[in-house]
Amino acid sequence: MRVTKVIKRDGRIVEFDSSRIRRAIERAMREVGSYNEAVLDKVVRYVLDVIEKTFTDERPPHVEEIQDIVELALMKYDLFEVAKAYIVYRKEREKIRKEKMAILGKDYVDDIDKRLSLNAIRLLATRYLQKGPDGRFLEDPKGLFIRIASLIVIPDVLYDPKVFDKEGNQEIHPYEEFDPEEWAGKLGLMGGDPENHLAPPFTWNSHHLERMKALYDELNSQRKMKVSWSTFLEMLRRGEFDHHYEDFLNYYRLMVDLKFLPNSPTLFNAGTRLGQLSACFVLPIEDSIESIMRAATEAAIIFKSGGGVGINYSKLRPQGDIVRSTGGQASGPVSFMRIIDVITDVVKQGGRRRGANMGILEIWHPDIVRFVEAKAKPGNLENFNLSVMITEDFWRYYESGEEYPLINPRSGDVWATLDPREIFRKIAEMAWRTGDPGVLFADNINRRNVLREYLGEIKSTNPCVSGDTRILTPEGWIRAEELFFRARLSGHVRAVAVDESLLGEGGEPRAYRTRLLTVDGEEMVYRDAEGNELRLLIPKEVEAWVWHVGKKPGLLVRTEEGYELMVTHDHRLLTQRGWKRARDLEPGDRIVVSRLHPWFLESSYRGSCDLEDDVAFALGWLLGGGSLDEHQAAWFFREGEAAAEERVRRGIERLGGNPLSHTRVLSGSEREVRYDEGTAVYRNLMGLMGSFGEGGWNGGLPEIVWRLNPGSLASFLRGLFTAEGRVSDDGSVRLASNDLEMLKEVQILLTTFGIASEIHEGLREGIPCDTVGGEASRRVGGCHELIIRGYSLRMFKELIGFESIAKLEGLLSTEAEVDPPLVTVRSVEEVGPVDFYDFTVPIYHQYVGNGLLSHNCGEEPLYPYESCNLGSMNLYAFIRRENGVTYFDWEDYSRSIRVALRFLDNVIDVNKFPIEEIERRTKESRKVGLGMMGLADALYALGIPYNSEEGFEFMRKAAEYLTYFAMLESVERAKERGSFPLFQKSGYVNGEMPVEGFYHPEMWNLDWDHLREQVMRHGIRNAEVTTIAPTGSISMIADVSSGIEPQFALVFEKRVTVGSFFYVDVEFERQLKENGLYSEKLLREVSENGGSIQGIEPPEGKEDEFRRMQRVFLVAYDIPWWDHIRAEAEISKWICAAVSKTINMPSWVSVSDIEKAYLFAHRLGLKGITVYRDGSKTAQVLVTPTQRRGEYVSFIENKTLEMMRSLGIEMPQLRKPKSEEKPLVQPVFKQPTPQPNHVETCPECGSTRIVHREDCVTCLDCGWSACVVT
């Protein structure tokens, strides 16, 4: 075409895009149900022909002229209904443009304004756009996004390899003064076009430059800047960083395309004086008035900066406890929460709105009932969301029905006891009545927390291994029980608060110092032709602490290869996919064997017994090819064993004997060397063997073997294997014995040299089980075999070997194959009360027991001074429609996730934190929280019911992609900028991953083993990358459904100062028009039906289309509450941190239903749950058919109820009970007097139309939300 330009309404001349004409006509055709592709092609060709004949680039068409031509073309082809729809659409767009111009105070709307809905423009103008002292806007939406993106790109400039040294090997440059005001508007990145709203130029303001200088100074102090500040500025002026304009553009377009939006504080404060970009913060509070008032002060500072606060009040002593300094009584946690509540009322967030608080109390606290009832009376703690933290020990009492002890945090004493089921019911009833408290599950929160062991203090212990477990120490493999008693005798007591309520019979609440061997990384020792690698563990001697927990129920973990370990249910073993609790292990799981790197033994493993090599060899031969009892010791030899016999004879000589005088011939080829009791050799031998030899040999190895130094141990094993071992036809080394205990102990000792083995039990035929001579045969019953294969054969040959040329020759032809250091779980069996011992290894948090890598114990669920740095991906923005097919663009989603991760990581660097300690803690872990919104609209577009199995599958996949690609990009960031500072002290170094889904390979859509390998090899920039946070306000900017919630209402009447109008879900409106169903009458009918289309009769002639929409377009109260929990669970599997979602319940559910909801959530692995029964906190604003009829009116077939039954939870109530029936659970609270005015009102517009979603209160009319992060 000769016409390549078009004049926009704002006077700009831009490229002519004929596809926009086609889309507009197609939209009008679909709206009236007259879509015909052939006719569409004809109309478009006619329009383009007229444009071509009428206009040129010297005289380009105006957009209004093009629209006039379209109207004429539609009329020409008798498409009168389509023309009418097009004209109506055109007029409506004109009306919207004028409204937007009026709101923004502009005489035109640009491309960015057009992308935003009228609702979004209103919200931005009300809350987010910067204003001058006169109230006029200093920016429009495009300016807002430029302001944010130009701040976020600053770290990309400073981390440029031209000036940044990741290793920190630079000299610290002298500090230089800098006045940001002087340089404001003079510096930027060259690029962009003032006429192109999608690629605008920019310069930095003084607030941007102040953050730039702060980040430079921080990196300079870490010796990471290659140039001085003045040199850097000069480079910036010369344009040496202009290539980072592309980074700016990526961040800018991610937002203007509405694919991603950061949390509200970033929208408010980026590039402004306040500069605080985080949404929420965790504050500590100790049991002192000084700490309480400090927390109050810090909370006020945070509220002022625009953030919200979470505090765990569990350390405060209970009401009525003594206060020694005054002789008075403590007032308890709830009274101090009122201080924070008042401060919240007074201090507005960033001067814009009141703050928000999360108050937590752990269920063992004596004031738990007061806490649960704290909001029973309207007006109390209005600025708080409350949550009870249910700790892991509670569930044992709940199941058994035993009285649950309440512990005074000041003294650790039992304050009182209560019925665990009663307090559980109290929590449920209070939530039934008021919506508070929510519930948090400490065990689920901590399950995949990669920083738990480093940041968490030991406040309650989880017992670990049984007393007979062999623990690897510098002095040998010592039983846990002996280690404890030896450590206790040393007198080195650790002042540690071990919760006595968790100790078993005979347990002791004090820890003692000891020394263990832990693992300090790994090193590759072999790579085969296929590239498979064998990595062995590097041992390191460390200080540790041990205590006696006492008798507890336990589990015996058995492996197919023969390794065994007796542990508690909570004990964690390192699996192929990270640490896993024993109770969660399943047959087929792969556990890591602690194969040590022999090169590093000398510096860590000394042993406490140094036997001469020949003596150790003779001892090995005796236990393998000899006889030992309370009267004699005898060694037996066959023909061809001369070399071994000679070495044994030398060992006997060192024991004080003359072997020649004690040798007798048993047959032509068999000889015996025997020493009876009373001889020097026998006495010396018994001195070495200790109690092992008393009363005869009853199996296993003598204690001295466990304490031999590496050289002596290798000689012992050489003697044992030379006597009893063989090289089989398949090249493997085999050691046969009927003493299964001895084989299992040898198996553990072999790991000291990095050698793996397997044991086959109960083999009888074809194996030379008996030694020579009837006297020598100690074996009765079945025969067992220890087998060494793969690369372990090479290690065996080099480090142990045989004292037999024939057997050594059998090893020459063996080819080395990588034998991975993994064994397979065969069974996990319950065992009765067992004496358990616990270990803590500071920093490393792991030790070796029975040849398996174990994790030490302890948990603390919340870390003080952490912050939330949040943003959300808009799933609906990745819906694509091509050739009549709607699909989700997973490729674009993956790319955009990576850009969003870079955005949020940069937020940490340019954030102006309100408190110094918050900045330090945040930068130690660099946690970010990338989330999702628009889930319901994406499912609507794809035609998938929210609570269908297909819907749950989509949720899992969307969450999996979110975390996978965010972590993958975080690894790339680590390569460029370094890992988060605590990386080496995190679970990542051991292969742990922060999401539950990783431990379920059957769920994988992506290569998580590759990601795990990348993290272990290169590190990762952010300790956590994903969180599903509330998105109330930012989802309104994007004009999509909130977070992961189902849509609250498809249509509702929105009231503003100039009147009211219908707000219609964007995808619902699109499909109504596409199916020819759109009408004012239907919108009103849906609005009056509580925003639901269930139960509405379909328009005549459109029954099929409407029925299809009824199946897909479900709103929150159309979906059974158990499916809400299921949705949260499916998404939680792939999210690093918290998932924010409200479990909406109709008003007719019972207290018993809420109890079942809590149990279901906990057993599904949720970290927490917030239920909201309609009408419990506010008036019923939207009454859906489910609420009106007292039963769910839409059922989608799925597996959720079957899952509930399989978890031992009774069927929930499916409909409202008849009036004559008694309630399922009698209330445990006295019902309060009804409060006629108990209706929350919006603090911004005064509306009473308040709804609850995403754990938040939201106003339907102005969009106000009580949540900071939205």
User: Which positions are annotated as active-site residues?
Assistant: 462, 857, 859
- Specify the DSSP class assigned to residue 1195: -
SS3 152: helix
Residue 879 has phi, psi (to 5 degrees) of: -80, 130
Q: Is the dihedral of CA 486, 490, 492, 498 positive or negative?
A: positive
Contacts with 1072 (C-beta within 8 Å, 6 or more apart), sequence order:
1064, 1078, 1082, 1109
Cβ atoms of 274 and 914 closer than 8 Å: no
Structure tokens at 412: 């650790």
Residue 1256 has phi, psi (to 5 degrees) of -135, 160
CA distance linking residue 737 with residue 768, whole number of Å: 9
Residue with tokens 């058919």: 1185
How far apart CA 8 and CA 782 sit, in angstroms, is 92
Residues 6 or more apart in contact with residue 1067 via CB below 8 angstroms = 876, 937, 940, 941
β-pairing, 384-390 vs 438-441, is: parallel
Q: Residue 169: exposed, middle, or buried by beta-carbon count in 10 A (0-12, 13-18, 19+)?
A: exposed
Q: Which residues contact 930 (CB under 8 A, 6 or more apart)?
A: 870, 871, 872, 873, 897, 900, 901, 904, 962, 966, 1025, 1026, 1027
Q: What is the DSSP string of 289-322?
A: HHHHHHHHHHHHHHHHHT-EEEEE-TTSPPTT-E
Handedness of CA 583, 589, 590, 593 (dihedral sign): positive
- Give backbone dihedrals phi and psi of 85, rounded to 5 degrees, phi first: -60, -40
Work out the number of other CB atoms within 10 angstroms of the CB of residue 634: 20
**What DSSP assignment string belongs to 436-483?**
--EEEEHHHHHHT-TTHHHH---SS----EETT-EEEETTEEEEHHHH
Q: How far apart are CA 1110 and CA 1093, in angstroms?
A: 6
| Nearest residue to 1135 via CA among 944, 912, 932 | 932
Tokens for 772, please give them. 């020579």
Q: Containing H/E element for 98? A: helix 80-104
Q: Peptide bond preceding 437: is omega within 30 degrees of 0, i.e. cis?
A: yes
Q: Which residues contact 825 (CB under 8 A, 6 or more apart)?
A: 557, 558, 559, 560, 585, 586, 587, 588, 589, 590, 591
Instruction: Name residue 13's beta-bridge partners.
Output: 7
Residue 162, classed as helix, strand or coil, is coil
Q: Residue 436: CA atoms inside 13 Å, Cβ hemisphere, count?
A: 26
The residue to which tokens 């929930």 are assigned: 1212
Other CB atoms within 10 Å distance of the CB of residue 272: 16
Nearest to 802 by CA among 612, 670, 621: 621
Which whole-number Å values give the CA distances from 1134 to 452, 888, 925, 1009, 1255, in the listed order?
18, 19, 20, 15, 20
Q: Which residues lie across from 519 on neighbouring strands?
A: 539
Give the integer Cα–Cα distance in Å for 970 and 1004: 20
Neighbours of 309 (CB within 10 A): 26
